[in-house]
Amino acid sequence: MARLVVRDVVITTLLLGLFAAIGTAVVAWVHAATEARIAENRLQMTRTRVTQVLEGLDYDNDPVTDYHRVSDDRLGGEDLPVWIARRGTEVVGVALSAIAPDGYSGDIHLLVGIDRTGTVRGVRITQHRETPGLGDDIEVERSDWIHDFRGRSLGDPPIERWRVRRDGGVFDQFTGATVTPRAVVRAVRNALLYFEANSEELLALPPPEEDEVLIIDPAVPEIPDHVTPTERLPEAEPPGELLQ
Amino acid sequence: MLNAILAIAGLALVFGLILGYSAQRFRVEGDPIADQVNNLLPQTQCGQCSYAGCRPYAEAIAAGEADINRCPPGGEATVLALADLLGRDPKPLEVEEKDKAVAVIDEQTCIGCTLCIQACPVDAIVGAAKQMHTVIESECTGCELCLEPCPVDCIEMAPLERSLQDWRWSQPAPSPIERPREARQKATEEHRESA
Amino acid sequence: MITSGYADIIREGLWTNNPGLVQLLGLCPLLAISGTVINALGLGLATIATLLISNTLVSLLREHVRPEIRIPVYVLIIASAVTAIELVMNAWFHGLFLVLGIFIPLIVTNCAIIGRAEAFASRNSVPRAALDGLAMGVGFTGVLVTIGALREIVGQGSLLDNAQLLFGEWGRDLRIEIFPQEHGFLLALLPPGAFLAMGLLIAVKNLIDARLEARPIAAPAAAPETAPTQS
Amino acid sequence: MEYALILVSTILVNNFVLVKFLGLCPFMGVSRKVETATGMGLATTFVLTLSAVSSYVINEYLLTPLGLEYLRTIAFILVIAAVVQFTEMVVHKTSPLLYNVLGIFLPLITTNCAVLGVALLNVQEAHGFVESALYGFGAAIGFSIVLILFSAIRERIAAADVPVPFRGSAIAMITAGLMSLGFMGFSGLLRL
Amino acid sequence: MQLHHFHGGLKLADHKAESTTRPLLTLGVPKFLYVPLSQHIGAQTECAVRAGDRVAKGQRIGRAKDYICANVHAPTSGWIRGIVEHPVPHPSGLSAPCIKLETDGRDQWGDDRMEPWRDWRERDPRSLRERVRDAGIVGMGGAAFPTAVKLNPRPGKRIHTLVVNGAECEPYISCDDILMRTYPEAVLEGARIVAHMIGAEHVLFAVEDNKPEALRALTDALPSGEQDFIRIVSIPSVYPAGGERQLIKVLTGREVPSAGLPADLGMVCHNTGTLKAIREAVVAGQPLISRIVTVTGPGIREPRNVEALIGTPFADLVAAVGGYTPDVDRLVMGGPMMGFAVGDDAVPIIKGTNCLLATRPQDATQPGPVMPCIRCGECTRVCPANLLPQQMYWFAKSKDFDTIQDYGLFDCIECGCCALVCPSNIPLVQYYRFAKQEIWERERERQKADLARERFEFRQQRQEREEHEKAERLARKKAALGKKDSEAADKKAAIEDAIERARAKKAAQSSEERSSKDRERADG
Amino acid sequence: MRFQTRTSPHMVPGHSVGHLMRQVLYALIPGTLAMAWFFGWGVLVNVVLSVLFAVMFEALMVTLRRRPVGVTLGDSSAVLAGWLFALAIPPLTPVWVLLVGTGFAIVVAKHLYGGLGYNPFNPAMVGYVVVLVSFPRELSLWPSPQGLMEGPFTLWQTLQTTLTGRLPEGLDWDAITRASPLDMMRESLISGQTVHEITRSPVFGSFSQTEWEWAGNLFLLGGIWLMYRRVITWHIPMSMLLSLATIAGVFWVIDPDQFASPAFHVFSGAAIIGAFFIATDPVSAATTPLGRVLFGIGIGILVYVIRTWGGYPDGVAFAVLLMNMVAPTLDHYTRPRIFGHSGDGRG
Ligand SMILES: Cc1cc2nc3c(=O)[nH]c(=O)nc-3n(C[C@H](O)[C@H](O)[C@H](O)COP(=O)(O)O)c2cc1C
Ligand SMILES: Cc1cc2nc3c(=O)[nH]c(=O)nc-3n(C[C@H](O)[C@H](O)[C@H](O)COP(=O)(O)O)c2cc1C
Ligand SMILES: Cc1cc2nc3c(=O)[nH]c(=O)nc-3n(C[C@H](O)[C@H](O)[C@H](O)COP(=O)(O)O)c2cc1C
Ligand SMILES: Cc1cc2nc3c(=O)[nH]c(=O)nc-3n(C[C@H](O)[C@H](O)[C@H](O)CO)c2cc1C
Ligand code: SF4
Ligand code: SF4
Ligand code: SF4
Ligand code: SF4
Ligand code: FES
């Protein structure tokens, strides 16, 4: 019963190989046809987000291809990307990624757009795990709270009032959730402090050589943890992890 | 492109080898499920399931062609056992469960035609040609197959006699809060009737 | 099953043997991607496409495949189809692609698809197989979208939110707001909500089936029931 | 410590079945009895770990060097099917007893999305070899635990006075929902 | 003496004083006796008399025809008035064959009365056992198991201890108490006889501590020289300390193995009433024709113990103790925990009737609302077998008979503790009885199915063989014919031949198939 | 003479389900009153409304399922479920939260499974967790005790707030709420304070905030009474509190700055009421003695884990649900040794 018929084995094998080859050929062909568009799509994702936090700035480069990596405690992480907006070769603003380590349930990732004068042009939360329905009012889709930062700078309000109202600052907390806004306010303030301390270097960063531009790859998209509004939105992809 | 095709086809080749080899090496023979199913059937061989006996029905169940609720002699117990074995949801019996009975031949009328002997699937009828026949009670499965062929209608099904020894505790009625209104009313009516 | 007509095939797929509600197959996407109608629709369409392609191809090849590599060949066909669809979505529906995430490649292991290939397509002619694929796919998508609608309405008070992901920019206007988002019942959007919605849907189907079944029987059954009370 | 975190995360916090929605078909299908659920759990654990490792190898040493990432799905599903087949062979050969227990579940595993899901997630999270193996193992243990618990609950509600339309799969779904509600308690655990 | 505990159990209000304040009453001979043929566990007794026969007191009227069976004797002299279907004490409330005896009031012994053996010490245990058997003695502690069987040592099992069960743990019952108070010597002598029969070296005589008078009477009656041989032990009153297994655990700390017998531990347990009956049979030559019954309960006017003839209707006993109180609604044979309610007081006393309990609505569970089990675990706490009654209930309800056996259904002694404490008022014990009987029934059905399958398969084989043989025979005949006959016949034969061949081939094939299958099965 | 036939036993049973449930209700009274004393009318309004809703839902479901309403309501289990749910949520919670919570508790968690005795999950906790994950804002607003006692929160205003979901004129949530001890511990640990600094705060009593401690003490009293009345056994409460204290103790010894003391854990949040009233729900807990001990230990550990590392300030409800999930398996594997069997009880 267990005698092997080699011919059968070979036929089985070759048949399967054949099917595999045909299937792969089709897929490879589709891949060739879509490759360029997919790459462009990926850039576009990041571009949209960076554009949002640099709102109102007049720049003529594509910040997505013009980025550097920085590490600093005030930004809360290592090798965080910073995108540069320029007019000509002059840097007019930067989009800093930052991490607030003291969220209610873990890190909050944000993108802070700052112009050369040190004024916030926009802030967006890119990833967080705050309690849905309570801490997630920091998302732009859920409330306007995040827009409070627009136009603020280290002098406005004065540094000691860069806090939530409960702690004697100017920023609103949400009813029932102080921890989250406190963390975000602190992170934005720290990003500004970082900018102030390093503005010279940041503003002097050179534009990239043409052939240095890397393709930005969002990898395989993340599986939704909870299907919460946060992850539902493509904007929530962390820019920091978009780069490989 | 060529890379791609080669890589995947290569994988597939390896895979095909494994499969081709194992397909021959480990062929599964027989149908153990049908055997297990058959073991649960009551072996009355009555054909009420519309199959020619218990074994064919068992094979049909194993092949996924027949539902598990078609054997009236087996009753609810068999349905439950089959559901358990096959991981299916138990269903109510298709036909009503009958009381157990055995065939009795009216020995005065019997003409000894032997037709019933041929019909009995379990050889529970004894008697020779032109002689009176009798049913061996302990071996009769109550399938009723012998009723039809008898030319003089001398066979009857007699319910099994119940004595004190056979008396059994019934399952207590469920709590009233586990029964919908209709069932409760029915129960009280029955109670009243019996009183 | 082999002799069933086209109408039966359609009925099976949409209702009596619905992959989601009855066969309980393909549950993962059904629960994971049913947060909003648009997500559900997106994945549903991808699934329909895959089912159509795979059923057709499997039916075409059914006589040329040896039994021992049947399943692997089906898997290969399905995987190729899914990968192609994934690439297309990535190119033209990038937003949706990101939202659906890992569940697009996971269509490959959607048990409903391989189940149909094995149980139906491999035994039926091409048009019948294709129709079955379509019916099953639509049945699956129907359930997906129903749960999606349920969860979206209850969870965030809207319908067709983010329609731009599927229909392009004009889709933004499709959004229907039923009540403001902050009054949403968050549970519906969380994992438990998905399970509960699915359980409810199955129960509703059972209820409808019971009603349908009771109707034709109720009339004749009434007669013998009244007889004893008269006597 | 990091490895322990992977385990805790996959078993509890991001439980594959109840939080990530993977592997639900066998979760619903093979959970009527504790015994069968245990068998399924064992089989899945074995296959999932093995396929996580092998798909890691394929990805790392075949697909990535050749730039064929887009073929991952095809390659992985082939690997998984092969692993299942291989497992079946080995079990059949070495232990007929185990084969009796696991045999019927093995083919089901090919279409368990948790298996492909683990392979894909391993790539997405850029896990190394050991991490991939642990991730697969943890996911499978998480799967098995909830499967067994679920089957014990289902055995109990099989005798319950469940309203008729909810009997069977509907109440099972609702039970899974309430289990997943319990698992919400783990959300936010491990502030990653 | 070091005593031990068993798990669970209940401290119950004993209600024994009601019936022990009055002395034992010996009831006269009623006009009619209904002696059921089946009063014990085991095969039914065969009737040994016919309608119209005149019988003497002590004459055998029912013959044991099996090993586990017991003789029945005429409780008094009179005429047999037939074998009638009469209600018997049985939970079903059904009727069963009883010997109707019209008494003559003379209470005369016949000539074949057994010879009194005062010299039992000199006698061979086997002949003593024969005597017990002849006397129709069954266990009087409740189960009514033929005593001779229990006294018959099984090969390889040496019995070293006789346990005398004087616990009488159920509330209300006091027949053993009164017996021990009234006839302590007889009981002790019975113990000596049994110990002699089974070769026991010790007798452990257990009495619950709520019966001080009985304890005193026994101690007084026990010669001081015998105190090492017979030890009278006062045990705490915890229901069901009188259960054989629980009693042995209390006395020795050892557990009778599940599915085993006390004999596995070298012990035998007998009720005091049984010992008295054995003593009467041996020393007085009197078969088991009467017993002490406690007639008690709030539904009885003057509760007391009555010595009555087997076959006396319950109603006569009740009448003898002043009748019922007006609001009585339930009559129970046995104690409140394990007894069963009878529907009719025309049923007669049998050998195992230790108590008649009459209650009013307020004294007993009413068919009030049974609630679902809330899994409170009270039942687990009190179960003396350390079972999980709530789980067994669950499985009995869902008819999961495999699992319920895993949970130890057959270790349940049906003591009723669980049902008593259940706040949901669930008739738990009935569920277990139902499940046990259903399992036995299914086992029988399965055996029947196996038999049917065998016969069916055998028949199929036979049919094939017959067909095969017939075909061969035909073929041979055809061949013979063909030689002689014309061409036409040849042609016809050829056709039939072909048919025959086809048939034979088919038959051969299928029989081959079957045999190969058989082989496989044998291999597997 | 003819008699009625019934199966044994033939004695008056000790108690009924309704009796049992009502004893639990009595035992809840002192603790509930203490809470009302500290947190105002809101507590009582919650209890009354939740009980009302729970009974309503119960009646509704029983009617829909065409079962006898009287018998079902007579068992008081819905009252108890509603009451326990009410104690879990903050006073002044809007009425729709109560409706949703009790609805889920009675309809989904209880009656979809067949009602009393069949629910694998603790109904009150299902209801609580559902509203907790759905309305986290409403559920995190615990009024501060002092504010209420000094402030003008009359019964009328409380009702107004509950029914409309809006505070009376001139009041602001931020002004009248205060973090509960567990919230405070969490928040302050996040912002880098040490346990020592936190507990030095003037509102802290010996272990926890004074008013929580008081309520806890009175619930403890009720619980002990229940044990004395044998409504509950010691297994679950003792093993749960002991395991919670033990694991808290271990971490506390390791690093008293980062981890709160065992006493804090036992006297904060829902630990005590959970141990005596919630984890002991017989229907959804394990039923074998050993199973119950393990059940309690499991809850204790999970409570600690969720409180310390999880995303929610208190973990009792989740821990109970999680262990409810495990209970059938526990029962399956912890069967006692049957009389006359050697080894474990199986086979
Ligand atoms: C279930 C739950 C989830 C919570 N989630 C958050 C959150 O994500 N962010 C936050 O700042 N506070 C959250 N809190 C609230 C905190 O426990 C704490 O009460 C609050 O931060 C203190 O706010 P307050 O200072 O405004 O009173 C949550 C509370 C609960 C009960
Ligand atoms: C079915 C059955 C079989 C028994 N077989 C024996 C036996 O073979 N030998 C023996 O000594 N006792 C036998 N017994 C008697 C028991 O040991 C026990 O004494 C008797 O059942 C009375 O016990 P109880 O009143 O505690 O139930 C048997 C009892 C039953 C019910
Ligand atoms: C729960 C329970 C309680 C019992 N109580 C007594 C009792 O109190 N006195 C007694 O003699 N037998 C009692 N029995 C019967 C004994 O187990 C045992 O069968 C008897 O003592 C054997 O003696 P016998 O064969 O002489 O009747 C009880 C049995 C059970 C199951
Ligand atoms: C000691 C005890 C504790 C209880 N605890 C709860 C509880 O925490 N939650 C609840 O909904 N019901 C509780 N009940 C009531 C009842 O058991 C519960 O509603 C059932 O789960 C309904 O089937 C309890 C009952 C008792 C006797
Ligand atoms: S109905 Fe049942 S007993 Fe009769 S032949 Fe079919 S399987 Fe056998
Ligand atoms: S005697 Fe008749 S009823 Fe009985 S088994 Fe034979 S054919 Fe069937
Ligand atoms: S005593 Fe009754 S309600 Fe309690 S667990 Fe036992 S059977 Fe269930
Ligand atoms: S009747 Fe059976 S289950 Fe109940 S307490 Fe007695 S031995 Fe235990
Ligand atoms: S779809 Fe995930 S296992 Fe079936």
Establish if C226 belongs to a structural domain. no
CB-CB neighbours of F224 under 10 Å: 15
| Least confident segment among A81-95, C165-179, F39-53, F216-230 | C165-179
| Least confident segment among B131-145, E27-41, F107-121 | B131-145
pLDDT beyond 70 at C62? yes
Residue D100, both tokens: 């009796």
Within 93-122 of B, beta carbons closer than 8 Å to D belong to none
pLDDT digits (tens, 9 = 90+) for E214-270: 999 999 999 988 888 999 999 999 999 999 999 999 999 999 998 889 999 999 999
E176 vs C19, more confident = E176
Could you give the strand order of the β-sheet that contains A106-115, starting from the edge strand earlier in sequence?
A67-72, A77-87, A90-103, A106-115, A120-127
Residues with CB under 6 A from ligand 1: A 104, 130-131, 134-135, 166, 173, 176-180; F 132, 136, 139-140, 177, 179, 183, 187, 312-313
pLDDT category at A241 given cuts 50, 70, 90 is very low
Alpha helices for D95-128 (secondary structure H)? 96-102, 106-110, 113-124
Residue A237, pLDDT score: 35
Q: What is the mean pLDDT of residues E4-19?
A: 91
Residue A242, pLDDT score: 32
Q: Give, in order, the Cα–Cα distances in Å from E410 to each of E9, E404, E433, E437.
A: 18, 9, 10, 11
Q: Above pLDDT 90, what percent of chain E?
A: 64
pLDDT beyond 70 at D154? yes
Nearest CA in chain C to B16: C69
Q: Above pLDDT 70, what percent of chain E?
A: 91
pLDDT digits (tens, 9 = 90+) for A144-194: 899 999 989 988 888 888 988 888 888 888 877 888 999 999 999 999 999
* Three-state secondary structure call for residue C220: helix
The answer to whether E371 contacts B122, with C-beta atoms less than 8 Å apart, is no
Counting ligands in written order, which one lies closest to the CA of residue E139? 3
A18 burial (CB, 10 Å; 0-12 / 13-18 / 19+) is: middle
**Residue minimizing CA distance to atom 25 of ligand 1:** A178
Domain boundaries, chain D: 39-182
Residue F194, pLDDT score: 80
Q: Tell me which range, B43-47, D61-65, E406-410, is most confidently predicted by mean pLDDT.
A: E406-410
Q: What is the mean pLDDT of residues A38-61?
A: 85
pLDDT beyond 80 at D85? no
Tokens 């009771």 — which residue? C214
pLDDT beyond 60 at E387? yes
Provide the domain limits for residue C35: 6-214
Most D CBs within 10 A among A42, A107, A127, A223, hence the mutation to make, goes to: A223
C-alpha E396 to ligand 7 mean position (Å): 14
What is the rounded CA–CA span in Å between residue F215 and residue C13? 58
C-alpha F340 to ligand 6 mean position (Å): 45
DSSP string, A208-228: PPGGGPPPP---SPPPPSS--
Residue C223, pLDDT score: 36
The answer to whether C68 contacts B19, with C-beta atoms less than 8 Å apart, is yes
The answer to whether C68 contacts B15, with C-beta atoms less than 8 Å apart, is no
Q: Are E350 and E36 in contact (CB under 8 A)?
A: yes
What is the rounded CA–CA span in Å between residue F7 and residue E155? 39
pLDDT beyond 80 at B162? no
* Three-state secondary structure call for residue B158: strand
Count the residues in chain F: 347
Residue F56, pLDDT score: 96
- Distance to chain D for E256, nearest Cα, Å: 31
Residue F347, pLDDT score: 37
What residues are paired with E307 via a beta bridge? E26, E292
Residue E62, both tokens: 């029912």
- What angle, 0 to 180 degrees and rounded to 10, lies between the N-to-C axes of helices C37-61 and C70-92? 140
CB-CB neighbours of E514 under 10 Å: 14
Looking at the complex, does the CB of residue C154 fall below 8 Å from at least one CB of chain A?
Answer: no
pLDDT category at E390 given cuts 50, 70, 90 is very high
Chains A, B in contact: 3+ Cβ pairs under 8 A? Answer: yes
pLDDT digits (tens, 9 = 90+) for E48-104: 999 999 999 999 999 998 888 999 999 999 999 999 999 999 888 888 899 999 999
pLDDT digits (tens, 9 = 90+) for B32-77: 677 788 888 888 888 888 888 888 898 888 777 788 888 888 888 8
ipTM comes to: 0.86
pLDDT category at E522 given cuts 50, 70, 90 is very low
Q: Are F113 and D157 in contact (CB under 8 A)?
A: yes
pLDDT digits (tens, 9 = 90+) for E264-297: 999 999 999 999 999 999 999 999 999 999 999 9
pLDDT beyond 90 at E3? yes
Residue F324, pLDDT score: 97
DSSP string, E106-170: ---B-TTPPPP-TTGGGS-HHHHHHHHHHTT-B-TTTT--BHHHHHSPPTT----EEEEEE---S
CA C178 remoteness from chain centre? 25
The answer to whether B16 contacts C72, with C-beta atoms less than 8 Å apart, is yes
Residue C214, pLDDT score: 75
| Cα torsion E509, E512, E517, E518: sign | positive
What residues are paired with E85 via a beta bridge? E97
Q: What is the mean pLDDT of residues B136-140?
A: 83
CA B79 remoteness from chain centre? 8
Counting ligands in written order, which one lies closest to the CA of residue A134? 1
What is the rounded CA–CA span in Å between residue E157 and residue F29? 62
Q: Where are the beta strands (DSSP E) in C33-151?
A: none
What is the rounded CA–CA span in Å between residue F2 and residue E117? 45
Residue A244, pLDDT score: 29
Q: Is F278 in the pocket of ligand 4 (CB under 6 A)?
A: yes
What residues are paired with B105 via a beta bridge? B155
The answer to whether A228 contacts C77, with C-beta atoms less than 8 Å apart, is no
What is the rounded CA–CA span in Å between residue B195 and residue F3? 11
Q: What is the mean pLDDT of residues B127-153?
A: 81
Within 92-131 of A, beta carbons closer than 8 Å to F belong to 102, 104-105, 129, 131
What is the rounded CA–CA span in Å between residue C161 and residue C171? 9
Q: Are C20 and C31 in contact (CB under 8 A)?
A: no
Largest CA distance in chain F: 84
B91 vs F289, more confident = F289
Give the nearest partner residue to B122 out of E437, E438, E459, using CB atoms.
Answer: E459
pLDDT category at E148 given cuts 50, 70, 90 is very high
CB-CB neighbours of A36 under 10 Å: 10
Q: What is the pTM of this model?
A: 0.87
Residue C216, pLDDT score: 57
Residue B119, both tokens: 């019909």
pLDDT beyond 60 at A230? no
Q: Above pLDDT 70, what percent of chain D?
A: 90
Residue E364, pLDDT score: 79
pLDDT digits (tens, 9 = 90+) for E93-117: 888 899 999 999 888 898 888 889 9
Residue D101, pLDDT score: 59
Residue B192, pLDDT score: 65
pLDDT digits (tens, 9 = 90+) for D162-184: 998 998 889 999 999 999 999 99
Nearest CA in chain A to D14: A225
Residue A214, both tokens: 């890397």
- What is the number of the ligand 1 atom nearest to the C-alpha of A136? 8
Looking at the complex, does the CB of residue C4 fall below 8 Å from at least one CB of chain A?
Answer: no
| pLDDT tens sequence for chain F (347 residues) | 677 667 778 887 778 888 999 999 999 999 999 988 888 888 999 999 999 999 999 999 999 988 888 888 888 999 999 999 999 999 889 999 999 999 999 999 999 999 999 999 999 999 999 999 999 888 888 877 754 445 557 788 888 888 887 877 777 777 777 777 787 777 777 777 787 777 777 666 666 677 778 888 999 999 999 999 999 999 999 999 999 999 999 999 999 888 988 998 998 888 999 999 999 999 999 999 999 999 999 999 999 999 988 888 889 999 999 999 999 999 999 999 999 888 644 43
Residue A235, pLDDT score: 34
Mean pLDDT (chain E) is 88
- What is the number of the ligand 2 atom nearest to the C-alpha of E152? 11
Q: Are F92 and F137 in contact (CB under 8 A)?
A: no
Angle, CA of A173, A177 and A180, to the nearest 5°: 75
- Distance to chain D for C49, nearest Cα, Å: 17
Establish if C23 belongs to a structural domain. yes
B83 vs F14, more confident = B83
pLDDT beyond 70 at C31? yes
Residue F190, pLDDT score: 76
